[in-house]
A = this chain, B = another copy of it.
Amino acid sequence: MVQITTALNERPAHAPRGQRIPVAVLGATGSVGQRFVQLLEHHPWFRLHEAVASERSAGKSYREAAGWKLDTILPDEAGNLRVKELGADLESRLVFSGLDSSVAGEAEELYAGRGCVVVSNSKNHRMGDDVPLLIPELNADHVAAIDQQRRRRGGRGYIVTNPNCSTIGLAMAIAPIERLYGIDQLHVSTMQAISGAGYAGVSSFAILDNVIPYISGEEDKVETEPRKILGHWDGSRFVPAEMRISAQTNRVPTIDGHLMTISLSLRKHDANFLERIREAIETFIGEPQKIGLPSAPRRPLHYIDEPDRPQTRLDRDREHGMAVSVGRLRPCPLLDLRMVALVHNTIRGAAGAAILNAELLEAKGLL
């Protein structure tokens, strides 16, 4: 029996429930926005206070405007919210953004300028010079850039972002390898679910019994973002990791979950690199595990032994969709090793990623 809950661990939370922080969700009626609303329902630190969407939805109840499309029941508290128009003054200081990139750039600037902490899933500011592109398990220290960003803006507001959904799966899967040996070259070919394109993004006529070997702008993101994530902040700028990536991205008829095949070469080697890498994957933890963030998976990476795993439908929900699954670690005839990775694209790869980012900011006193 499948019980849908938010991914709350049972460890003591840092913030008492009675004082949950009110938050706003920008783009609340879209596919990422609905995931935000779903994941916030039982969140111990945050409370959905404002739903913000386009002019077309403004003034309606969230229930009416959203046409709820997830397989859980829309909570009444959210359903009864009156949707505010994008650009309106907000009462929440913490703002999640699931906006479409056509409007996210300007709107997020606007709210950061008004002093809000904008935790965005949109692509617009990801590569910004002083904008952290966060995966808390990998680069929690990138929040150091916030200071510089605040100084630039002249206020308390700022923007942090999470990476592209495929990038998150890739970057998490290879992070232990990058740390152990350094990665030189990497080929990745993705098989991405349709939910990544939003509710109306992929028509059923386009994708049933089909594969589309193209996703607009996706390959560039997957080739670029991991270098910033796995690089470091040197006090004044982000220094990217040196790895070079070739990405080919494909849309397949699955609902949730981006699966990818990876082949890569290392900068250093030793005799037992496959064994050591596997162990590093299995034991990998990061800041969210150490400080006990409520949405953090116990183990961010699940290595699965069976030769035909991970599989999209069977493994995407591990740790409430917050763990990345890895399998088929084996030698490559051309480079050093090959592997398969899987990420739940709308949870770990989008709304869940942003919420974990906000939890990190709260735990570090940055809200």
Q: Is the CB of B1 within 8 A of A213?
A: no
Question: For the complex, is A5 an interface residue (Cβ under 8 Å from B)?
Answer: yes
In the complex, the count of this chain's copies comes to 4
Give the residues in chain B near A334, CB-CB below 8 Å: 185-187, 244-246
Q: Of A70, A189, A250, which is in contact with the most chain B CB atoms at under 10 Å from its CB?
A: A189
Nearest CB of chain B from residue A330's CB, rounded to whole Å: 10
Chain A residues 265 to 306 lying within 8 A of chain B, measured CB to CB, are: 295
Q: Is the CB of A307 within 8 A of B199?
A: no
Give the residues in chain B near A246, CB-CB below 8 Å: 263, 332-335, 338
Mark contacts of A319-333 with chain B using CB atoms, 8 A cut-off: 1 yes-contact digit, 0 otherwise.
Answer: 011100001100011
A244–B263 alpha-carbon span in the complex (Å)? 14
Mark contacts of A332-353 with chain B using CB atoms, 8 A cut-off: 1 yes-contact digit, 0 otherwise.
Answer: 1111001010000001000010
Chain A residues 88 to 112 lying within 8 A of chain B, measured CB to CB, are: none
Question: For the complex, is A204 an interface residue (Cβ under 8 Å from B)?
Answer: yes
- Give the nearest-CB partner of A70 in chain B: B314
Give the contacting residue for A248; candidates B202, B245, B261, B321; CB below 8 A: B261
Q: Is the CB of A206 within 8 A of B338?
A: no
Give the residues in chain B near A73, CB-CB below 8 Å: 318
A261–B263 alpha-carbon span in the complex (Å)? 13
A295–B1 alpha-carbon span in the complex (Å)? 9
Q: Is the CB of B189 within 8 A of A259?
A: no
A202–B69 alpha-carbon span in the complex (Å)? 13
Question: For the complex, is A234 an interface residue (Cβ under 8 Å from B)?
Answer: no
